[in-house]
Amino acid sequence: MANSSSWSYKGDDEPHICIRPLPQLLSSVIYMRGQRIWDAIIADLLTKGLAKAKKVLLSGCSAGGLATFFHCDDLGELLGGVATGAEKNLNKDCLNSTLSPYLCFFPQYALQNIKTPYFILNSAYDVYQFHHIFVPPSSDPRGHWSRCLRSAMLTALKPFEGEPEMGMFINSCFAHCQSELQDTWFAPNSPTLDNEVLIIDEVKLYACGLLVMHGVFMKIILEFQTIAELVGDWYFERGAAQEIDCAYPCDSTCHNIIPSNQVGI
């Protein structure tokens, strides 16, 4: 099957998992039926070749990225011939592991029960989260709270470091959705992270047909990898694919999106 791709835009703030039988009446009629949108899209794609796919990469940005946490295992089981569902479309193992089911809406809890190989691409200073959810710029003009976001994220990811099927690219850029644009995905000036590569050379020296010296030399070089390159290493199983950036402002490759009143933080 030839390579192909498909895009879907989320229909509500509960990323492709909500099934509301009746409209939610607020100031106007709003339908929360993201799960039905997902089901319809997958059913359509299955008839167009998805059912024959050998490898499927499910990705998303922002709320769409959160939706991948909820659907990757179900999609994997569906393509493997086993159609299953979790209670209220959340991960069943996650629901069974906690007395507070609402926690399974949050990725750090859902991730613990995901069986599908996973790659996390995120900024440690996601501009949307702390400008619109945590601390709006008017409440934090000097940007002190932005540093807490990185600490909390790295703490949540710590248990997954070293997992062979888990990839991650966590940089320290003031950004949001870095996989959609070529400038941040794979371009000459794209954001990069340093990857230490160990090179081992074996040297043998002969004189008059006799081995007079045999040595092994090791050196470490820094390889600068873009998001696309690290995702490629993970997807094609070319070894460890986990890179975490140093704290802001050490990364000079960032394409930062910073409000004008926080440029000097």
User: Is 126 one of the annotated active-site residues of the chain?
Assistant: yes
User: Is 100 one of the annotated active-site residues of the chain?
Assistant: no
User: Is 62 one of the annotated active-site residues of the chain?
Assistant: yes
Burial class (CB in 10 A: 0-12, 13-18, 19+), 160: middle
Catalytic residue (one of 8, 39, 59, 62): 62
What is the pairing mode between strands 242-244 and 166-171? Answer: parallel
CA distance 164 to 178: 23
> Alpha-carbon torsion 210, 213, 216, 221, what sign?
negative
CA distance 168 to 185: 14
Burial class (CB in 10 A: 0-12, 13-18, 19+), 142: exposed
Catalytic residue (one of 12, 73, 74, 126): 126
Residue 9 is encoded by which pair of tokens? 């835009």
What is the rounded (10 degree) CA torsion for 13, 16, 17, 20? 70
Catalytic residue (one of 123, 176, 190, 251): 176
Active site residues: 62, 126, 176
